[in-house]
Amino acid sequence: MTNPPARPAPEGRAIDDSACPDLQGALELVGRRWAGAILTAATHGAERFGEYRALVGGISDRMLSQRLKELEAEGLVERRVIPSTPVQIRYRLAPDGHALIAALQPLARWSALRSAPRGARH
């Protein structure tokens, strides 16, 4: 089966990655492997590295550490160092992380409905 020929974009209205850089950037951020699972774990109360590891099954320590650093750099996760013996490190959603989760919830509902059997869709 062949695809129909693509229609040309209206004059001066070609769409590429630069058409909506904000949306593209957001999709690339949350589309990174494990990022969504880590953010979801934070909403379920994970604070310590071991709690994240337990909630995000299958992730390696190295990948979890890398993703937490990236999410922190993006301002989605806050990292706190608690001076004790031994030193404790806690992670939690930053305000932007909470806002992102709120924005993603409708997408998650859409995805759940889409993956539901046809007769169960509303």
For residue range 29-83, list pLDDT tens digits in order. Answer: 888 999 999 999 999 999 999 999 999 999 999 999 999 999 999 999 999 999 9
Cα atoms found within 13 Å of the Cα of residue 76, Cβ hemisphere only:
22
More confident residue, 41 or 122: 41
Confidence of residue 24 (pLDDT cuts 50, 70, 90): confident
Confidence of residue 27 (pLDDT cuts 50, 70, 90): confident
**pLDDT over 80 (residue 120):** no
Phi and psi at residue 84, to the nearest 5°: -150, 180
**Residue at 16: amino acid letter:** D
CB atoms within 10 A of CB 71: 26
* Element holding 111 (H helix, E strand): helix 95-115
CB atoms within 10 A of CB 54: 11
